[in-house]
Amino acid sequence: MLVIKDLAVKFPSRFGDFTAIEDVDMVIRPGEIHGLVGESGAGKSTVGAAVIGLLSSPGYIAGGEISLGDTDLRTLTPSEAHAVRGDRISMIFQDPQTSLNPLMTIEDQLIETIQAHSDVTHAEALKRAVDLLEEIGIKDAAKRIKAYPHQFSGGMRQRVVIALAICTDPELIIADEPTTALDVAVQSQVLDLIKRLARDRDIAFMLITHDIGVIAQVADRVTVMRHGKVMESGETRQVLGAPEHPYTRALMDAVPPLDRRIDRFRVPEEAPIAGDGPTGNLAEDWLLEGQRSDLLGLKLTDLTVTFAAPRTSIFRKPDPYVALDNVSLTVRPGTIMGLVGESGSGKSTLAKAITGLVSPASGEMRLGDAELPYGKTRSRYHPSRQLIQMVFQDPYSSLNSRHRIGDILEEPLWFYGFVTERAERRRLAAAMLELVGMAPDAIDKYPHQFSGGQRQRIAVARALLARPRFLICDEPTSALDVSIQAEILNLLKDLQSTFGLTILFISHNLAVVRQMADDTAVLRAGRIEEVSSTENLYENPQADYTRSLLSLTPVMPKDWVARGS
């Protein structure tokens, strides 16, 4: 179906051509799911963009061959390439929210795509669109097709994107991180759909992902990339179960197991070491100096958060939407509490209530012995604003892109009055960068000059410069590949044990939560399903919902692990 030989892609710059990928070989057969894995910057998405003809300017294909069946994709004219794109090759992007037009209904978007590639009437296109939505598992498709993208959940939007990809009966679909932002339940549904489409429609898939568990679950073959080159390729069982290349083995070592707890994540040898610098001790001493003798825990009692529902009638006020329903939870001082649940369960709403970003309708929150005011009454100078800090999922959007790193890190120091002199703030910010494993010269750069893992380290440094006692980590590694994820999680473990932080760790990755958390709470539809010590919850789950989440988590088959260990 798809043959790639000696593919090379370059991006010109004033410093010369940057080689993004080189000497890439790959073969994908009809009905085959071919996984493409590697860390950020490995060139995975560049391969997909080169195949479909969507390389970002001024990138260009510098050499090699790309053939789809008997068609040489490199010799096509722009109009011929446009005809192939969408008709014979489709793409599924990572974020369905940005892939869909928010101003058009699902019906209009599907009909537009179908009619662009087929000579059919509006009625015929509508019937095909409804049939497609039913095929991909959207119930009551004839009615739901009238909705707008924002009226669907993340998993439902991803199903619509898949429907758009298959509505032209393509031969090849390039799926670029299609399940990264989805919880395990929705991820399982999307992966089952991809497997069914490959089997029933004989569609070839190029599945680009950093999730080794996903590859193990669905891919027939896998190619491992690093620094733009292919490290290893072959049948999935062989490559993942008995990896030959040292880099593949390092990736496998970094995958957190679901069936047991480990003391520490394995990381590549060249990974940065936290605190490994001449001024790293300065930041550590400063944090310990501000540490209070008592550890602070968190207690929530009957916490309820509601949001106003949209009004559909001028005669009747709709009932509010209940995001959290009488949630009671205790995070023990100096421990890590894991919080898991599917999308829409209320995990992020809980974090926002604690930090004062949303106001509960009722209930009580206590940090240590002090009551936490609701968000609308909590002053920006309230002590909890400093004691509670948050590390967000996307460090790029949580860091001001117009400010240098030094300005971003110095802000908590002057806002909370810790350091008055500019030179001392600068020195402490540089020391904090070293404490989290960054070079001190990063202080003069901008966020866009760093990788995702480096930006997340900077976000952690900024949170620490507020001298917090309670840290909320909201999906801090979900967008990172496994090797970078291992580095960040080791960093958080070290910081927690060194400085006695109490951490609320929110994630949909159950394997990661088992390695990080002392206790774990399971949230579903705004209610606590189960709370227990982590090991007891994973070994002996009491709630049916917890057992379902554990069973849906993609993992390496045990016999593969035995072969590769």
Residue 496 CA to residue 430 CA, distance in Å, equals: 21
Residue 184's pLDDT band (cuts 50, 70, 90): confident
pLDDT > 60? residue 565: no
Q: Over 60: is that where the pLDDT of 271 sits?
A: no
User: Which amino acid, one-letter code, is at 204?
Assistant: A
> Under the phi-then-psi rule, with left for phi > 0, alpha for psi from -120 to 50, and beta for the rest, what region is 171?
alpha
Reported as a single tens digit per residue, the pLDDT across 152-161 is 766 678 888 8
Greater model confidence, 479 or 286? 286
Place 3 in a pLDDT band, splitting at 50, 70 and 90: very high
Distance (Å, whole) CA 471 – CA 476: 12
Total length of the chain: 565
Predicted local confidence at residue 141, as pLDDT: 87
Judged by average pLDDT, the poorest of 119-123, 269-273, 285-289, 551-555 is 269-273
What pLDDT band is residue 76 in, cutting at 50, 70 and 90? confident
Q: Is 16 exposed, middle or buried (0-12, 13-18, 19+ CB in 10 A)?
A: exposed
Tens of pLDDT, residue by residue over 305-345, are: 998 866 666 777 778 888 899 999 999 999 999 999 887 78
**Taking 50 as the threshold, does the pLDDT of residue 562 lie above it?**
no
The residues, any chain, with a CB within 8 Å of residue 378's CB and separated by 6 or more, are 356, 372, 384, 385
Both tokens of residue 277?
């610098």
**Mean of the per-residue pLDDT values for the chain?**
87
Query: Is the domain defined by 280-308+319-555 classed in CATH 3.40.50.2000?
Result: no
The percent helix, strand, coil of the chain (3-state, each to 5) is: 40, 20, 35
> What pLDDT does 440 receive?
85
Most confident range (mean pLDDT) of 15-24, 37-46, 475-484 is: 15-24
Lowest mean pLDDT among 113-117, 183-187, 429-433: 183-187
For residues 399 and 409, give the distance between their C-alpha atoms in angstroms, rounded to a whole number.
Answer: 10
Residue 563 has pLDDT above 50, yes or no: no
Task: Please state the domain extents for the chain.
Answer: 1-88+170-254, 100-169, 280-308+319-555
Backbone angles phi, psi at 102, to 5 degrees: -70, -15
**Residue-level pLDDT at 172:** 93
**Beta strand pairing call for 204-208 and 60-68:** unpaired
Task: Give the rounded percent of residues in the chain with a pLDDT score beyond 90.
Answer: 46
pLDDT at position 42 is: 84
Rounded-to-10 torsion of CA 306, 308, 309, 311: 160
The more confident residue out of 564 and 236 is 236
Mean predicted confidence (pLDDT) in 365-380: 90
Question: Looking at the predicted structure, is the pLDDT value of residue 16 above 60?
Answer: yes
Distance CA 241, CA 224 (A): 13
What was the pLDDT predicted at 154? 66
**In 10 A of CB 269, how many CB atoms?**
7
Q: Which residue has the higher pLDDT, 14 or 115?
A: 115
Q: Please give the residue that has the higher pLDDT: either 533 or 509.
A: 533
Tokens of 275: 């605190």
Does the structure show a pLDDT above 70 at 561? no
Strand order in the sheet with 502-506: 388-391, 470-474, 502-506, 336-340, 519-524, 527-533
Per-residue confidence (pLDDT) for residue 556, from 0 to 100 = 77
Residue 402: CB atoms within 10 A of its CB come to 8
**Three-state SS at 253:** helix
| Distance of alpha carbon 342 from alpha carbon 182, whole angstroms | 8
| CB 297 within 8 Å of CB 368 | yes
Q: Across residues 290-300, what is the average pLDDT?
A: 81
Mean pLDDT for 41-46 is 86
246 upstream amide cis, omega within 30 of 0: no
Helix axes 452-464, 405-415, angle to 10 degrees: 20
Architecture of the domain whose range is 1-88+170-254: 3-Layer(aba) Sandwich (3.40)
Contacts of 47 (CB under 8 A, 6+ apart): 4, 7, 21, 24, 26, 36, 206, 208, 225
526, 323 contact by CB (below 8 A)? yes
Write out the two tokens for 129.
């669109």
pTM of the model: 0.82
